[in-house]
Amino acid sequence: MCVCSVLIVIASLCDIDTLMVAAVMLFVATFAVGLGPIPWMLMPELIPTYAIGAASSTATAVNWLFNFVIGQTFPPMKEGLGDYSFLPFAIICAVGVAFTFFLVPETKGRNPNEIAKN
């Protein structure tokens, strides 16, 4: 998604419609196999069983809140940043990758009690 966001900026700056369409389609496709479902699959592995209900409810509320915030802030951001309006999304994706790489624990072959200890 980070790369696709950068490609969207490049396509906007260079006025390359084909690249824009391809980058948007790849952005949606990578979201569909990455940031879309993976957090929902990861949550039961990282959260104790007794807290999954509350954590799922909170995560859903936060997800909807940030969808609303992005929907409300993108039009003014587009006006202010112009063709560079997808760079903040690329930066956020890059920070997310670093966060996941360094701070999200590996769960393969570990039971929930072992994961909770870390």
| pTM for this predicted structure | 0.79
> Which residue in 49, 45, 6, 50 sits closest to 24, CA to CA?
6
Check pLDDT > 80 for residue 62: yes
Mean pLDDT (the chain, rounded): 90
Structural tokens at position 62: 């936060």
CA distance linking residue 114 with residue 63, whole number of Å: 28
**Residue 118 binned pLDDT confidence (cut-offs 50, 70, 90):** low
